[in-house]
Chains A and B, each alone.
Chain A
Amino acid sequence: MKIFKFFITKIFLRKAILSISIILLLFMANYTTFIATRSILSTFQGYQEIKCMNQEGIYIANLDPDSDVDIDAIGENGTQIVYDYLNNNFNYAFYIDGFMVSLPNIDDMEISLSYMNEEYYELNQFELSQGTDLDFDYQFDKDKEIPILIGKGLSKTYPVGSTIKIEDPVLEQPITLIVQGVLKQNAYHSNFYDLNLKKYYNFSIFLPVNAEFIKNANIDLQLMNGLMDIVILQTTKEKTVDLSEVMQDNLGLKFNFFSQEENFDYFNEYYLYSLKIMSITTLILLVIITCLSIWNALVSIRLMLRDFTINLLVGLSYSKLRKIFYSYFGILFFINLIVIFSITAYNRYECWLRKDATLATYGFFGLIGMDWFALLVVFLSDIIIGKIIVENMLRKIKKIPISLGVLQ
Chain B
Amino acid sequence: MTNIIDLNIKEKVYKNKKTQLSILNNFNLKVNAGEKIAIVGESGVGKSSLLNIIGLLDIDYNGEYTLLGSQTNNLHANELAQWRNQKIGFVLQESALINSLTIEDNIKLPLLYAGSGKFFFKEEDFENVINAIAIKPILKKKPLECSGGERSRAVFARGVIMKPQIILSDEPTASLDVENRERIVNLLFKMNKEFNTTIITVTHDLEMANRHDRVIHLERSR
Partner-B contacts on A (CB < 8 A): 2-3, 6, 10-11, 14, 306-307, 310-320, 401-403, 406-407
Contact = CB atoms under 8 A, between A and B. Distances in A.
Contacts of A313: 57, 84, 90, 96
B215 interface: no
B109 A407 contact: no
B178 interface: no
B97 A310 contact: yes
Contacts of A10: 98, 100-101, 105
B96 A406 contact: yes
Contact of B84 (A6, A307, A315, A401): A315
B19 interface: no
21 contacts: A3-B112, A6-B112, A10-B98, A10-B105, A307-B100, A311-B109, A311-B113, A313-B90, A313-B96, A314-B84, A314-B90, A315-B86, A315-B112, A316-B81, A318-B77, A320-B81, A401-B58, A403-B48, A403-B51, A403-B55, A403-B170
A327 B192 CA distance: 41
B80 interface: yes
B147 interface: no
A240 to B, nearest CB: 73
B113 A314 contact: yes
A1 to B, nearest CB: 11
Contacts of A310: 96-98, 109
A403 B95 contact: no
B119 to A, nearest CB: 10
Contacts of A319: 77-78
Contact of B92 (A317, A318, A406): A406
B82 A315 contact: yes
A314 B158 contact: yes
A307 to B, nearest CB: 5
Q: Which of B57, B77, B105 has the most CB of A within 10 A?
A: B57
A407 B96 CA distance: 5
A182 to B, nearest CB: 61
B59 to A, nearest CB: 11
A317 B92 CA distance: 20
Contacts of A407: 92-93, 95-96
A218 to B, nearest CB: 75
Contacts of A403: 48, 51-52, 55, 57-58, 170
B100 A315 contact: no
Nearest to B105: A10
A373 B84 CA distance: 47
Given A3-B112, A306-B98, A311-B113, 4 more contacts: A2-B112, A11-B100, A306-B99, A319-B77
A306 B99 CA distance: 9
A310 B114 CA distance: 15
B77 A316 contact: no
Contacts of B110: 314-315
Contacts of B51: 403
Interface string B43-56: 00000100110010
Nearest to B57: A402
Contact of A14 (B78, B92, B97, B100): B100
A139 B113 CA distance: 84
Nearest to B56: A402
B98 A315 contact: no
B85 interface: yes
Interface in B64-98: 77-78, 80-82, 84-86, 90, 92-93, 95-98
Contacts of A306: 96, 98-99
A323 to B, nearest CB: 11
Contacts of A314: 84-85, 90, 109-110, 113, 158
Contacts of B58: 401, 403
A317 B81 contact: yes
Interface in B95-124: 95-101, 105, 109-110, 112-114
Nearest to B80: A317
B85 A320 contact: no
B88 to A, nearest CB: 10
B97 to A, nearest CB: 7
Contacts of A3: 112-113
Nearest to B96: A406
A320 B48 CA distance: 26
A317 B96 contact: no
Q: Which of A315, A317, A319, A401 has the most CB of B within 10 A?
A: A315
Contacts of B101: 10
